[in-house]
Structure 1
């Protein structure tokens, strides 16, 4: 793949892109997909891949640019011009309200699809289930693009780090509810003790993995914010 016609895409960027596709393929295709039909914990692994593993990898890789490198330069220019003319796209790219929109969308999508009634309904209807997974991926990809690539004057690294703390807390709250529930919440996986144990395992997975991703991203952004902070100027003695 080439960048700007002559220069190749950076290896780390291409690696993240391919790695994200591998992760998605592993959890969404057989045999793992069949396992997710039987165990809540395996299904939660799918959700985690769609929520906190693949999206930051795709966002960091600038996936849309990597994909465009596979096409001729004239076609890329046409796509670029068509994108620039898309109504509302420039507003979304520059307006500060987009930051809060993607954050609230991320929270709303997470909680909505994990409501027991909605979760079980999606499991009974394949089209709705596929839509759920697509919404997860798109929403979180938008969130991580804002966190990683928003202009400094619109969203500082320190502010992005604080947003990640808030996202970690609300996600941890949902994970705690799932883990500590005294009865199975998702009856499509059963109502006995085995289903409850499996549900607790899925909640712990969500708690640990999502928390680790948010904590790692917070640490990286916070360190970048400290590194960029102005150093105090020493006054020379007369």
Structure 2
């Protein structure tokens, strides 16, 4: 278990580095399709792996015992704890994540991110943080694997609406973001670059969402099966003799 968490934590930060400090980052200034790959890496690979690693529980051990108790009490009972519980309720997290994705792909906001570095940083940060909140709510919900049944529906509905956005980008007859003028080096016009970005969001990203949903569904079936098996054993247990 600890090895899996360590691998998930390492993999999550490696994907963050791949998205933000690899050659993919300067390429995203030229190609919208590369920018889309950045976002999908942060949302679909880095964020769920970091959530699976449960880094907060481990990080608390870096503090003295008194500080650990204070932090746990503060985040459990303070206003931050209340806000976090409300934000990570599955429907709220699903709505926040969906709102962030659709809002930033509106031309006025995406163009602003391309023209202003501070806005661009905010865009990446909001994609990543909203994805962390979403996957935390779905994967680390209070019911554990037994709550994955509902989580599958939230992941599937996210697949549907992000695939719809990808399809809109793919079938649009004009570029949404004039700041991307295409790339002669890549042999892509602005419209072709946008169509490729839409396909990335629609097909491979949608496939990853579906794979995660299937994995959660399998874990839910296993958890339900164990619960049912345990209940059956208790039901069939012989009565004590007097």
Q: TM-score, normalised by structure 1?
A: 0.84
1:200 pairs with 2:192 = no
Aligned to 2:120: 129
Equivalent in 185, 208, 223 of residue 176 of structure 2: 185
Deviations 1:157-212 (A, max 9, x none): 21111111111000100011111211111111027961111111111111223212
Q: CA deviation at 1:10?
A: 0.6
Q: CA 1:118–1:96 in 2, change beyond 3 Å: closer, same or farther?
A: closer
Unaligned runs of 5+ in 2: 233-242
Corresponding residue of 1:143: 134
For the residues of structure 2 that align with 1:152 and 1:21, how far apart are their CA atoms?
Answer: 27
Helix, strand or coil at the partner of 2:143: coil
Question: In 2, distance between residues paired with 1:173 and 1:218?
Answer: 18
Aligned alpha-carbon RMSD (Å): 2.7
* 1:34 paired to 2:26: yes
Instruction: Give CA-to-partner distance per residue, 1:114-149, whole Å, 9 cap, x none.
Output: 011210111111111101111111111011011011
- Alpha-carbon distance in 2 for matches of 1:131, 1:210: 22
Deviation at 1:66, TM superposition (A): 3.4
1:59 aligns with 2:54: no
1:115/1:225 Cα in 2 relative to 1: closer, same or farther (>3 Å)? same
Q: Which residue of 2 is the match for residue 21 of structure 1?
A: 13
Distance 2:178 2:76 in 1: 47
Q: Any conservation in 2 of the 1:180–1:200 contact (CA below 8 Å)?
A: yes
Closer, same or farther: CA 97–81 of 1 in aligned 2, 3 Å: closer
Once residues 195 and 18 of structure 2 are traced to their aligned partners in structure 1, the CA distance between those partners, rounded to angstroms, is 23
Give the TM-score normalised by structure 2: 0.82
Alignment CA distance shift 1:217-1:78 (3 Å): same
Secondary structure class of the residue paired with 2:189: helix
Deviation at 1:63, TM superposition (A): 2.4
2: CA distance, partners of 1:72 / 1:92: 24
Change (3 A) 1:158 1:211: same
Question: Cα offset for 1:99?
Answer: 2.0
Match for residue 236 of structure 2?
Answer: none
Task: Check the 8 A contact 1:50/1:137 in 2, yes or no.
Answer: yes
Structure 1 unaligned blocks of 5 or more: 1-8, 234-238
